[in-house]
């Protein structure tokens, strides 16, 4: 193998590509959510639950006190994403999510 130090030109002989697929993150249960809020956001458990409940009532997250980490197979993802697309801040991300969406 030759060193590239002092070279003014190089020739590419081969390009390898690899598809890297990451699994979607698993949802947080209540205990994990409270730990994350405390560690990363420095929030008290009371404040974290208050915010989570407000996000739930506004329709942005599933019920915060449930311990499930999966959506029901009947959950209307497409409808939810279409509704969320109207959000003034986060709506711009929906087309990319819809493009890469898999159940």
* Catalytic residue selected from 56, 60, 63, 71: 63
Q: Which pLDDT belongs to residue 44?
A: 93
DSSP at 87 = -
Helix axes 30-41, 45-57, angle to 10 degrees: 120
Dump pLDDT digits (tens) for 4-18: 677 788 888 999 999
> How far apart, in whole angstroms, are the C-alpha atoms of residue 31 and residue 45?
9
**CB count, 10 Å around CB of 64?**
19
Which two structure tokens, joined as six digits, stand for 74?
A: 């009947």
Return the percentage of the chain with pLDDT > 70, whole number. Answer: 87
Tell me the Cα Rg of the chain: 22
Q: For position 14, what pLDDT does the model report?
A: 92
Q: Note the pLDDT tens digit of each residue in 33-60.
A: 889 899 999 999 999 989 988 888 888 8
Q: Which of 19, 26, 50 lies closest to 37 in space, CA to CA?
A: 50
Domain limits of the chain?
27-67, 71-103
What's the pTM value of the predicted model, to 2 decimals? 0.42
Whether 71 is catalytic is no
């Amino acid at each position: 193998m030759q060193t590239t130090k002092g070279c003014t030109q190089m020739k590419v002989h081969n390009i390898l590509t690899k598809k890297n697929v990451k699994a979607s993150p698993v949802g947080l249960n209540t205990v994990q959510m409270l730990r994350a809020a405390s560690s990363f956001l420095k929030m008290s458990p009371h404040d974290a639950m208050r915010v989570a409940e407000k996000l739930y009532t506004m329709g942005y997250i599933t019920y915060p006190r449930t311990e499930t980490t999966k959506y029901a197979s009947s959950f209307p993802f497409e409808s939810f994403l279409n509704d969320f697309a109207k959000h003034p801040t986060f709506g711009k991300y929906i087309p990319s999510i819809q493009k890469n969406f898999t159940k």
